[in-house]
Structures are given as structure tokens and as C-alpha cells.
Amino acid sequence: MTNLEKQIDEILALRSIFDTKFRLLDDNNHYEILIDFDQIEPFIIRYNNEKFIINHLPAFTLIIHYHDKYPSDYPPSFMLSCFYFSKSSLQNLCQKLDNYSFIKDEVCVYDWIELIKHEITNELILQTKDDEQINDPRALNGYSNENIDQTYQSLINYNNEQHEKQFQNQLQTCLICTDIIPGMDFIRLHRCGHFYCQPCLNNYVRITLNNGKFGEKLHCPQNQCQKALLPNEIKQIIQDAQLYQKYERLTLQHALESMNNVIWCPRSVTNRKEK
């Protein structure tokens, strides 16, 4: 087989393996693969005086460019990109790929991907030590101390998105009625993370409102959970415009009555509060 034929076969194989994670770029000899890390050990990020456990990492990007001498004589050209790796960590990975035992006439991109997966450890993620003496142009988009806050926020957002996808795609048990239904049919409360089926929450909220509890007094139904439901959650749960208007009116009235710097307007026709 010619080099071109082997390159085409390798592209077809990689496309079938990585599916949407594989993307051809400007021509048939230039492409990128997004490498997922399924077995990463959870680690903690401390950001804005809070701790976040990270279980999911965004994909690592490997960019490949074929040349006429691949695979007969030399490996293909490549670049690495990952926003939560430092420049030096990416450069070290580039060197490891350079040192990989390339076998002439054998395609190697899949082996490179396995090598990258094997080399990724928690110690490399968000590593602060950098070696400015090395400047490998193949190491792209590594983070620096200047953009560390943005990097943290991106990791936290991605982790939350993956948790939510995982939750929605699995069967869950309602904490009230114990029915088992798909996660996408649950309502998960933002402040505490407890989740319930919509009928159970609807019934709970209506009973609680009828008992005169609203605003910050309308807590999650879980025993001893003191987190209040958000207004948009109330609206989603009850799906009743009139009842939600009542909830808003009572909440506003209670808030005004609890303020010490306002008094009722003496004109009963207005029935307003003034500062």
C-alpha cells in the first residue's frame, strides 16, 4: 500500500472509533481528535472560598498533519492543545510523543492517543511550575497564572454540565414517592441538589403555600434541609399562573412587612408602603 492509502485507511479507522470527536480540518491530511479521559481521579479545586470536586475533564485536543513521508519514513506532525495544562506540561507530552518508538510503514496515531491517556495524571492538571526555557510551538493554549480564574471557572462549569447530563440519562428514585423514572423527568433543586418528581413537588408546594409558608420559608421537602426553593423553581413546579402570582404577592408583602424603614401609606385606596 502507498503512504496515501495507509493515511486514508487510518483516517477511516479513527473516524469510526472517535465519531463526533474526530474532525477533518482544511484538507484530508489535517485533522483533530478530542481525547476524553474517563478514568481520571477526582480532585479538588478551591475557588472563591469554595471547594469543588472535579470528576469530569474537558477533552484534550490532538491535531495531526500528514506529510508525504508518513508512514514509510517518519511519523506525522502534531500539535497538542489543552486549556487546563500548563505550557510546560504540554511541551513534556510533546517530547514523549517524539520519543515514542515509531515503526516505519506502521501508522501510529491511535498509539499516540493511548500514550497521551496513559501519561495524563492529576499532577499534570493545573500544574503551576513552568519552564520558560523551553518553547515548543506544538504546545498550544496552555494556561498561565494570568488566566487561572477563567480556567477554574471553565472546569467547574464543564464538570457541572457533565454531572447534569449523567443525572438526566440515568434512572433516579424520587425522594418522596420512591418511584423510579428517568432523571430528565425530575426537578433537581439548585440550592441543595435534592430531586423529586414533578407531581410530588407540585403537591408539596401547594400544601405548603396553603399553610402560609412562602419565600425563604418554603424549604426543600427533605427532612432537616433548610434550603429554600427559588422563585423560578416554584414557577416550574406549580405551572399555574394564578397561584404563582399569589406566591409572588405574598412573598413581596412579607418582605415589605419585615422592613423597618417603611410604613403603610395612610390612604387606604393606595394601600402602598412608603420609605
Same structural domain, 15 and 145: yes
Same structural domain, 95 and 198: no
Q: Cell numbers at residue 155, please?
A: 472546569
Same structural domain, 92 and 24: yes
Same structural domain, 64 and 153: yes
Last residue in a domain, options 162, 193, 211 = 162
**Cβ(174)–Cβ(205) below 8 Å:** no
Measured from the Cβ of residue 40, the count of other Cβ atoms closer than 10 Å reads: 16
How far, in Å, CA of 272 to CA of 240, rounded?
26
Task: Find the length of the chain.
Answer: 275
Same structural domain, 155 and 207: no
Last residue in a domain, options 162, 189, 223 = 162
- Name the packing angle between helices 109-119 and 3-18 (round to 10°): 50
Same structural domain, 253 and 178: yes
How far, in Å, CA of 275 to CA of 250, rounded?
19
CATH (domain of 212): 3.30.40.10
Same structural domain, 79 and 15: yes
58: nearest Cα among 179, 181, 188, 156: 156
Same structural domain, 17 and 116: yes
pLDDT per residue as tens, the chain (275 positions): 899 999 999 999 999 999 999 999 977 789 999 999 766 678 888 888 888 888 888 999 999 999 999 999 999 999 999 988 888 888 989 999 999 999 999 999 999 999 998 887 766 666 655 555 568 899 887 777 777 888 889 999 999 999 999 999 999 999 999 999 999 999 999 899 999 999 999 999 999 888 877 777 889 999 889 999 999 999 999 988 888 888 888 787 777 666 666 666 666 555 555 54
Last residue in a domain, options 130, 162, 194 = 162
Structural domain tally of the chain? Answer: 2
Q: What's the domain range around 47?
A: 3-162
First-last CA distance in the chain:
86
CATH (domain of 56): 3.10.110.10
Same structural domain, 158 and 175: no
Same structural domain, 143 and 12: yes
Measured from the Cβ of residue 265, the count of other Cβ atoms closer than 10 Å reads: 12
How far, in Å, CA of 57 to CA of 173, rounded?
27
